[in-house]
Structure 1
Amino acid sequence: MGETRIGWRTAAVAGAATVALGSGAGTASWAAYRLLTTQAGAARGMIGRDTSKPPEADGIYAPDGHEPWRTGKYADLHLMIFGDSTAAGLGCRTAAEVPGVRLAHDLAEATGQRIRLSTKAISGATSKGLAGQVDAMFVAGPPPDAAVILVGANDVTKKHSVGRSAQRLGAAVSRLHGAGSIVVVGTCPDLGSVTAIPEPLRTVVQRWSVQLARAQAAATRAAGGRIVAMGDLLSKDFRAAPEQLFSADGFHPSAEGYALAAAHLLPELLVALGQRDMATADISPRAPAT
């Protein structure tokens, strides 16, 4: 999810307008603004302040171990991760905890194949940044066999348009799908599960995150991708055990939280790859990216 300093104030201003909408009372509007901006300041001070970099995790993952990627190394399948800091694994202490690594390792275990993992995700990214990440992929080499995208929380805290954010995601999915990649999108998490966000600000961002997730799902399916509804699948667990599933910053998942997310993404990846394999008589490994 990345840096949220500017985003929380933006959410508060927009939220105040939402709370006061239709009241016709300047006093109510000002009170809502003061309350939510105060809460946004508190949120900035308490959560989302992890400025560390996620562990370096790219490489080749096989049933019998892991090795660094080098040009010319063989891999049966190339998995690439796009999105924000949750996609990159901010909050993880070791590479083994990073969601992309968990997916690559579990894919290797499930298929017996050598999986190359590449990460294009950037901390702090919104849906606006996906185009640049996909551009970087095309510059680096051939498209991956499978792509996973996790994005949306920063779009909410920065109060980007739900429609435009979904359109940007759909455009990225369309480019990847058109290049032959399987695309699985983990939709925006339910920010109402972030208990460190005080009420009523939490209710405001929760509502927006649910709206964005729905729009993302529609845009992804229309572009040829598959979705995993992360908010629906994870919010109950994160609300029940925040100390276990959130990292120290109170905003990003912990190792256990990432493991839970990866466990929900993996079946959709396997189904998508299985369908592709059934539709293709002979799938040759892609040429290694340089």
Structure 2
Amino acid sequence: MFGLRVLRAAVFTAGAIGGLSGAAYGLLTEQSKRARKIIGPPAAALRADGVYLPEGVGPLDPADPRITGDPLVFAVLGDSSAAGVGCDTDEELPGVLLARGLAEESERPVRLLTHAISGATSRELAGQTDAALLTPPDVALVIIGGNDVTARLSPGACALLLGAAVRRLTETGTAVVVGTCPDLGAIRPIAQPLRSLVRSWSLTLARAQRKAVLLAGGQPVALADLLSPEFLTRPAELFSKDMFHPSAAGYAAATQVLLPELCAAAGVWDGGPLPTQPTRSAAAEARRPTAKLVAKLNWRLKQVPPATSHSAAVTGQ
């Protein structure tokens, strides 16, 4: 997801931009220290690149004689969420799960090439794209955004960098799917009010990313909207031991929403209509008044007696 420096960056930026009082600044700083202590240092990402066969065999060396036909090349770019930090075995990696799913759905071999690096920001996407284009992929997945706040890049700047990478890939014929910035407010070790600040940043970035990806010819997938409700209600199951990166179950949940889009982008989806992607953030939807609240407000309005001529004169109406 995003580097631990985000906690320090959040406090710094909130103090510089938001005009926090000394007490509020001290509170956020203390929350940042506690969260870093709970989360601990990040673990190294596993890697299981190679060719995966439709029957579930893999990873194989590209020269393995069991591979028949040209494999569909699948590239994974981005940060630790794309690399699979938090998984305990190769089989749990999101790239592996998606490569197996693509192979089964397309009924052809799929070659997985992982260029994602833990801790990467949108600034590193250009280098990852260079590496990916050395073996031009048929389909690519990009998950990026969380670490951008550590460099205090603006959402607009991040979106431009992402859009440029997506455009370079699509111009070479690569179908690109982008998992937009997850809802970082779902990370429990980050206490309130720091958690609300981080959530606001991540959702703002996700909206900017969505626009940039569409303009560049890619397909965005709103991870915050589609996954945060589950992560908020099942944190012990869907987060790894550090309570920061997803667990194997968390990555499996993410692949369930990403695989249909990847298959559709590759032209091999045969699972029926794809779900409509949300255009409004989950957090914004959560702030909308419920039908029950609207009914209560209407009831209260009906209880207010009509204004008398005296009251109308007092109020100037």
TM normalised by structure 2 equals: 0.79
Q: Which has the higher contact order (CA 8 A, sep 6+)?
A: 1
1:55 aligns with 2:46: yes
SS at match of 1:66: coil
Q: Which of residues 245, 263, 273 in structure 2 aligns to 1:252?
A: 245
Measured after TM superposition, the shift of residue 2 of structure 1 is: 5.8
SS at match of 2:21: helix
Instruction: State how far apart, in whole Å, the 1-side matches of 2:92 and 2:59 are.
Output: 16
Q: What is the aligned-residue RMSD (CA, Å)?
A: 1.8
Paired residues for 1:59-78 under 5 Å: 59-64=50-55, 65-70=57-62, 75-78=70-73
Runs of 4 or more off by more than 6 Å in structure 1? none
Partner residue, 1:131? 126
Partner residue, 2:259? 266
Measured after TM superposition, the shift of residue 7 of structure 1 is: 2.6
Partner residue, 2:209? 216
Measured after TM superposition, the shift of residue 17 of structure 1 is: 4.0
Amino acid in structure 1 at the alignment position of 2:74: L
Amino acid in structure 2 at the alignment position of 1:11: A
For structure 1, the 5+ residue unaligned runs are 21-27, 277-290
Instruction: State how far apart, in whole Å, the 1-side matches of 2:119 and 2:190 are.
Output: 18
1:181 aligns with 2:174: yes
Stretch of structure 1 that moved more, 180-189 or 11-20: 11-20
Instruction: State how far apart, in whole Å, the 2-side matches of 1:158 and 1:12 are.
Output: 13
1:231 aligns with 2:231: no
Paired residues for 1:48-197 under 5 Å: 49-50=41-42, 52-64=43-55, 65-70=57-62, 75-138=70-133, 141-197=134-190
Instruction: State how far apart, in whole Å, the 1-side matches of 2:230 and 2:126 are.
Output: 32
Residues 82 and 133 in structure 1, CA contact (< 8 A), matched pair in contact too = yes
TM normalised by structure 1 equals: 0.87
Residues 48 and 250 in structure 1, CA contact (< 8 A), matched pair in contact too = no
Partner residue, 2:234? 241
Residues 166 and 216 in structure 1, CA contact (< 8 A), matched pair in contact too = yes
Amino acid in structure 2 at the alignment position of 1:180: G
Instruction: State how far apart, in whole Å, the 2-side matches of 1:48 and 1:154 are.
Output: 16
Partner residue, 1:9? 8
Residues 3 and 146 in structure 2, CA contact (< 8 A), matched pair in contact too = no
Residues 62 and 105 in structure 1, CA contact (< 8 A), matched pair in contact too = yes
Instruction: State how far apart, in whole Å, the 1-side matches of 2:30 and 2:6 are.
Output: 14
Measured after TM superposition, the shift of residue 8 of structure 1 is: 1.5
Partner residue, 2:198? 205
Distance 1:18 1:201, change over 3 A: farther
Residues 127 and 152 in structure 1, CA contact (< 8 A), matched pair in contact too = yes
Which structure has the bigger radius of gyration?
A: 2
Aligned residues: 265
Residues 175 and 266 in structure 2, CA contact (< 8 A), matched pair in contact too = yes
Instruction: State how far apart, in whole Å, the 1-side matches of 2:220 and 2:232 are.
Output: 22
Instruction: State how far apart, in whole Å, the 1-side matches of 2:93 and 2:59 are.
Output: 16
